[in-house]
A and B are shown apart, each in its own frame.
Chain A
Amino acid sequence: MRQFILYILALFSILFLLYVYRDNSGPINDRTNLNIYASGSFISSWGPGPELKNLFEARTGIKINYIDMSDPGMTLQKVAFSTEEAGGDMLMGLDQFDIVRFADRVKWNDISAINLQIDAIKSNPYLSEMRSLDIFKNFIPYNWSAVAFVTRTDKNYQLGSLHDLLRPELRSKVAYEDPRTSSPGLQFLLWVARTFSEDQAVQFLKDINTHSHSFSPSWSTAYGLFKNKSVDVVLSYITSPIYHLVEEKDANYHALDFKEGLPLQVEFAGVLSNCRNCEAANKFIQFIQSKEAQRIIMTKNYMLPMNRSLTEGTAFDTLNRYKFLHFKMYTKDEINKWIRIWSDIRKNEG
């Protein structure tokens, strides 16, 4: 009898746990739910995700479910072979390299009709090339930034061009990211390729390879070395000092302006063709282009809004003095070629 009582108690305990942890989110194909793939930092409580979600849900009554994606390339691969079971309606956080390299693995909806950024893009001279691209058929840009070298103001490095990175006093003092595993690293690689001729670029990369402190697998590791004062200069984003100024009240960081111009990183959102709630996805695409959403993205994501006038009166206004390179969409072959060159340099110089 004791065993029977224990058996009943154990069973009810498990049932109780299942009841407590039951899934209240509703079925995936519910028309009132919108499932969005976004990065972990976007959907965390310190990212723009929660505020955007609350605002959108209050306006439209459509519930947003964020799906954490570890890496856009990996996510698109998973979406590609998941087909029917894939739960996402749309994807955010694709940069121009992800679109070229990975976006063709899945099909996207045509959202050109809801692109509200045309005027904003027209008014930004650095984004002028973007107007003639086909990507607007399937992707909408919602924020942008520039890759730059960030240093501490008290170090007083006067660097004005890529060549200055090879100065003797900077030996083992600059942290980079590996182009194979990191987006800023890839930006740097293509920045060099764009600035110099091919032979000069290869030589420059070889020199950087021996002159650098390290090539980290990710931005967070490189930035960690910088904050830890293991290095004095790090390859990061132009908006990084703004984060320290606003969140940490620390004005000791600044991004270096290079005479070649700083390369742009633009982030796009797109709607998957196998979306269950395509209408809600389109509504969200329109929403993130609104002024309120753009402000939230700017202040939480620390990226610049498509409409530059929104930066007026904010800490981001100081970034308007920098010189940028015109936005460029590289082809897959160009990217693969330079990654190959980089891999060979790394293998042979080690």
Chain B
Amino acid sequence: MLQAYFESIKYVGHLLPISLLRIFVGYFYLQQAFNDWKIHILSNSVVSDLIVDALSGDKMPYWYRIFLSEQVIPHWDVYAFILVGLQLAVGISYLIGYVVRPASVLGIILCLNYIAIGSSSQELFFRLLIACQLTFAWVGAGRCLGFDYYFYKRYRGMWW
């Protein structure tokens, strides 16, 4: 598997620039995950306040607003744990190039969530991130400098 990781540069080298971008985005997600783990999980800061502030925004779809207020706010600590876990999953996935396509889908969902609950100044950044992740999913960015190449050689299919 390790051999395939390095071999991929030789056979799918045209994806190398995208892979480098993928690794950078993965590092960003990982950093966010560690920060959020420290702030929201270990320090038990109240995430529900952030969500309540976000409810007053106008970008949120109605159904999502109901979902947040009915389901998420009463169990804000579980929500925070799941969010951090998903950020970590996407970050590790991008860094090592494993299951990048499904992780990109997850990442896009996360970014949509941040657009909905974040401020308008951050919206452009998250849109850009969505575009990057769409590209990762489309070209299969995990195949170059990633473990997806090993599985792609064996199993083919759209998930690699």
Contacts and interface: CB of A to CB of B under 8 A. Distances in A.
Given A11-B88, A12-B85, A15-B81, A4 B41 contact: no
Given A7-B89, A22-B42, A15 B98 contact: no
A1 B89 contact: no
A1 B106 CA distance: 13
Contact of A15 (B85, B93, B99, B151): B85
Nearest to B33: A15
Contact of B151 (A3, A8, A11, A22): A3
B89 A8 contact: yes
Contacts of A4: 99, 102-103, 159
A143 to B, nearest CB: 39
B84 interface: yes
Given A1-B159, A4-B159, A12-B85, A19 B99 contact: no
Interface string A7-34: 1100110010001001100000000000
B92 interface: yes
A267 to B, nearest CB: 38
A7 B151 CA distance: 14
A4 B84 CA distance: 17
Nearest to A7: B99
Contacts of A19: 41, 81
A1 B157 CA distance: 10
A11 B159 contact: no
Interface string B68-83: 0000000000000100
A23 B37 CA distance: 13
A3 B99 contact: yes
Contacts of B85: 11-12, 15
Contacts of A15: 81, 84-85, 88
Contacts of B89: 7-8, 11
Contacts of B159: 1, 3-4
B149 to A, nearest CB: 14
A1 B41 contact: no
Kindly list the 7 A-B residue pairs having the minimum CB-CB distance in the complex, ordered from nearest: A4-B99, A4-B102, A11-B89, A15-B85, A12-B85, A8-B89, A1-B159
Interface of B: 41-42, 81, 84-85, 88-89, 92-93, 98-99, 102-103, 151, 159
Interface of A: 1, 3-4, 7-8, 11-12, 15, 19, 22-23
19 contacts: A1-B102, A1-B159, A3-B99, A3-B159, A4-B99, A4-B103, A4-B159, A7-B89, A7-B93, A7-B98, A8-B89, A11-B85, A11-B89, A11-B92, A12-B85, A15-B84, A15-B85, A15-B88, A23-B42
